[in-house]
């Protein structure tokens, strides 16, 4: 559950996701001198998605660092700095390019704590961005969270709202272990309420985005919005869906999903990534092991099509679950 302190003077502001992320970075940089940021075009230009705008002016070039296109090495630098007491945040502009840094994340950052017998820690954050929907084609549109979900030693966080983005990023920076923080390219301009207090959200705490009794819909990142839209339209048709956003995939709020399924007895998991070897399949396997007796129908997975993302806009759209796909699946499962 969220750990923000309840305060009667809290003011809510409508912030874009990118502004909420910027605030999180700003506050953590101010709060902790060990925090610094590296990435391409993040300092002088403020980042391609404008998440780091203004940070250079506030915190200077020693802590807000524009790098050459040397991803493997500047990510590895963050590992080294983290081991020796710093709290680096590294930005890789597209999750597609994290293929270039995967040794430093998977073989180095993820395993250092274990390999050092627990003596060493790697408190770094990899901020990156994924998903399709902007016509950016096969090498700039992938949903690759399963790669990191699969690796012991990493936490994987995927926010869907401004509120969650800020609270989760602050927790990620304060975390003692490496966190892969995956944003969605279509969400940066989405607005949502953000309190003007210093709040954090515990990694591993899911969120019920919409309570309901008839069916559980689990979705994260870019899929939350269309799942909620589907749930709203279904409610007009008398179907009361519960929408759960785990917010972090590792650790996963298993209990929130299980207790919802025990209540609704139906589960659909919606993910943008392709199905094979994906997180949805893993969540399904957990639920059938631990709540099989409560299920009234087989668990359904809606996932991205098993293909590289095409450039053409119609083909691109056809690759990812749409609102109408979600609605159709719900009705099928509920036999309505």
Partner 1 sequence: MKAYSREFLEQLYRTLYTIRVFETECIKLYRQGLIIGYFHPYLGEEAVATGACAALREDDYIVSTHRGHGHCIARGGQLNKMVAEVLGRETGYCKGRGGSMHIADIATGNIGANGIVGGGLPIGVGVAMGVHVRGSDQVTIIFFSDGACNNGVFAESLNLAAIWNLPVVFMLENNQYAVSSPVEEMSRVPDLYKRGEGYGVEAHQVDGNDVLAVYEKTCEAVDTCRLGKGPVLLEAKTYRHSGHHVNDPGTYMPKERLEYYRARDPIKIARNNLIEHARCTDQDIEAIEQHINQQMEKAIEFGKNSAQPSVEAFLEEIETN
Ligand X SMILES: Cc1ncc(C[n+]2csc(CCOP(=O)(O)OP(=O)(O)O)c2C)c(N)n1
Chain residues binding partner 1 by CB under 8 A are: 40-41, 44-45, 48, 66, 68-73, 96-97, 100, 134-140, 305-307, 310-315, 318
Could you tell me the smallest distance in angstroms from the CB atom of residue 101 to ligand X? 9
Could you tell me the smallest distance in angstroms from the CB atom of residue 273 to partner 1? 14
Could you tell me the smallest distance in angstroms from the CB atom of residue 272 to ligand X? 21
Contact pick of 8, 62, 69, 84 for ligand X (by CB under 6 A)? 69
Q: Does 253 bind ligand X (CB under 6 A)?
A: no
Cβ atoms of 174 and 127 closer than 8 Å: no
Nearer to ligand X, 6 or 69 (CB): 69
Taking the CB of residue 177, how many other CB atoms lie within 10 A of it?
18
Q: Does 156 bind ligand X (CB under 6 A)?
A: no
Cβ atoms of 157 and 203 closer than 8 Å: yes
Nearer to partner 1, 27 or 325 (CB): 325
Q: Does 294 bind ligand X (CB under 6 A)?
A: no
Nearer to ligand X, 49 or 199 (CB): 49
The window from 7-15, 92-100, 175-183, 228-236 that contacts ligand X (CB under 6 A) reads 92-100
Q: Does 100 bind ligand X (CB under 6 A)?
A: yes
Is 71 catalytic? The answer is yes
235 binds, among ligand X, partner 1, none (CB under 5 to 8 A by kind): none
> Given 19, 28, 40, 140, which residue is catalytic?
140
The rounded Cα 270 to chain-centroid distance in angstroms is 14
Backbone angles phi, psi at 56, to 5 degrees: -60, -45
Nearer to partner 1, 213 or 307 (CB): 307
Q: Does 297 bind ligand X (CB under 6 A)?
A: no
* Residue indicated by tokens 């207790």: 259
Pairing type for strands 35-39 and 125-130 reads: unpaired
Contact pick of 2, 13, 97, 286 for ligand X (by CB under 6 A)? 97
Q: Does 91 bind ligand X (CB under 6 A)?
A: no
> Given 23, 40, 71, 242, which residue is catalytic?
71
Could you tell me the smallest distance in angstroms from the CB atom of residue 90 to ligand X? 13
Rounded distance between C-alpha atoms, residue 238 and residue 240, angstroms: 6
Nearer to partner 1, 139 or 336 (CB): 139
Q: Does 137 bind ligand X (CB under 6 A)?
A: no
Cβ-closest residue to ligand X? 97
- The set of catalytic residues is 71, 140
- Residues binding ligand X (CB under 6 A): 40, 69, 71, 93, 97, 100
């Amino acid at each position: 559950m969220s750990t923000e302190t309840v305060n009667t003077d809290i003011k809510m502001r409508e912030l874009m996701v990118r502004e909420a992320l910027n605030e999180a970075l700003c506050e953590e940089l101010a709060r902790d001198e060990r925090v610094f940021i590296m990435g391409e075009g993040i300092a002088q230009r403020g980042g391609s998605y404008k998440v780091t705008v203004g940070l250079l002016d506030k915190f200077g070039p020693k802590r807000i660092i524009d790098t050459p296109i040397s991803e493997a090495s500047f990510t590895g630098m963050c590992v080294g700095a983290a081991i020796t007491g710093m709290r680096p945040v590294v930005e890789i502009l597209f999750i597609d390019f994290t293929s270039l840094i995967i040794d430093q994340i998977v073989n180095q950052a993820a395993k250092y704590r274990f390999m050092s017998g627990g003596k060493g820690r790697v408190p770094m954050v990899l901020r990156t961005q994924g998903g399709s929907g902007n016509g950016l084609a096969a090498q700039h549109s992938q949903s690759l969270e399963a790669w990191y979900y699969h690796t012991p030693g990493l936490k994987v966080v995927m926010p869907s709202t401004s509120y969650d983005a800020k609270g989760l990023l602050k927790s990620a920076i304060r975390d003692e272990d490496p966190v892969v923080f995956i944003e969605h390219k279509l969400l940066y301009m989405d607005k949502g309420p953000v309190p003007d207090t210093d709040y954090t959200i515990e990694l591993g705490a899911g969120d019920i985005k919409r309570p309901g009794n008839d069916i559980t819909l689990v979705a994260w990142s870019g899929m939350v919005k269309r799942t909620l839209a589907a749930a709203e339209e279904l409610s007009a048709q008398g179907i009361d869906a519960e929408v759960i956003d785990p917010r972090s995939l590792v650790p996963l709020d298993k209990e929130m999903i299980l207790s919802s399924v025990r209540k609704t007895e139906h589960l659909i998991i919606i993910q943008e990534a392709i199905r094979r070897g994906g997180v949805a399949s893993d969540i399904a396997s957990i639920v059938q092991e631990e709540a099989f007796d409560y299920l009234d129908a087989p668990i359904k997975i809606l996932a991205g099509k098993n293909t590289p993302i095409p450039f053409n806009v119609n083909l691109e759209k056809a690759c990812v679950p749409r609102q109408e796909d979600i609605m159709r699946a719900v009705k099928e499962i509920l036999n309505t």
